[in-house]
Amino acid sequence: MTISTAKSAFWKGVRDSAPFVLVSGPFGLLFGVLAAEAGLNVLEAMSFSLAVFAGSAQFTALQLMQEHTPTLIVLISALAVNLRVAMYSASLTPYLGDAPLWQRACAAYLTVDQAYALSMIEFERRAEWGTRERMAYFFGTNGLVAPAWMAATITGALVGASIPDSLGLDFVLPIAFLAMIGPMLRTPAHVVACFTACAVSLPATLMPYNLGLIIAGIAGMMAGAQAEVWFERKSAAAEAKQ
């Protein structure tokens, strides 16, 4: 395992992740604008992105903060939205578990959707890679995306501060959520989870402190898990008959 091999793995990660800048940039810009609309200054918006670095959790927390939801509920909701990252980490452990602790800590912070997806594909394809090359590639997948997200957040916060209140950008946040959720509905179980959460969230809006969001999320996850089990059993039964 030479240094040049690790460097080439890093730059391959940078190249592979380049198309995702077209996604992270606009969403970072949108977050900055909405953060400014919510009353955060540029430093606060930037600190928010640096501390959390998770788009869906940031948008969720921002929405709840605008509605003056208690801090504990905001934190629980943001964590619930990001539960998938725990599964990402478990999947990455066989490939990165032997790395030094500081590298694993950095990787945990940088574990986002595109880094996970690209890394898992490449790790399975490159069986000859050791932990050093894998970690270099993983960091490379954030080499462009993370700076683009931060820069876009700053730009959005600067621009958002100059947008008059009369334009009313409140409608943008729900649209942003729809844009993020749509591509995630890849299987029937995902669709079941989504529609169950939507159905539960309507009456749950009557609950105090926006607890309905958490209840709807739990209901969606339970329904999605049960649906996945049912579809797998149905598929297995169909294969057994053939």
pLDDT along the chain (242 residues), means of 10: 75 92 84 85 90 85 82 82 82 92 94 89 90 95 92 89 63 62 78 92 83 84 91 86 74
Residues 114 and 74 placed together within one structural domain of the fold: yes
Give residue 133's pLDDT.
94
Residues 151 and 198 placed together within one structural domain of the fold: no
Residues 119 and 31 placed together within one structural domain of the fold: yes
Residue 225 sits in which domain range?
186-242
Q: What is the DSSP string of 143-175?
A: TTHHHHHHHHHHHHHHHHTTS-GGG--TTHHHH
Among residues 184, 200, 233, the one where a domain terminates is 184
In whole angstroms, give the CA distance from residue 27 to residue 59: 10
Residues 171 and 206 placed together within one structural domain of the fold: no
CB atoms within 10 A of CB 198: 13
Number of domains in the chain: 2
Give residue 155's pLDDT.
92
Residues 18 and 125 placed together within one structural domain of the fold: yes
Give residue 173's pLDDT.
57
Residues 139 and 37 placed together within one structural domain of the fold: yes
Residues 12 and 127 placed together within one structural domain of the fold: yes
- For residue 88, give both structure tokens: 């990402």
Nearest to 18 by CA among 123, 141, 118: 141
Give residue 1's pLDDT.
44
Residues 131 and 230 placed together within one structural domain of the fold: no
Among residues 142, 158, 184, the one where a domain terminates is 184
Q: How far from 155 is each of 84, 105, 112, 139, 166, CA to CA, in Å?
A: 29, 28, 22, 24, 21
Residues 190 and 228 placed together within one structural domain of the fold: yes
Residues 20 and 138 placed together within one structural domain of the fold: yes
Q: How does DSSP classify residue 99?
A: S
Residues 121 and 226 placed together within one structural domain of the fold: no
Q: How does DSSP classify residue 142?
A: T
Among residues 165, 184, 203, the one where a domain terminates is 184
Residues 204 and 135 placed together within one structural domain of the fold: no
Torsion sign (Cα): 104, 107, 112, 118: negative
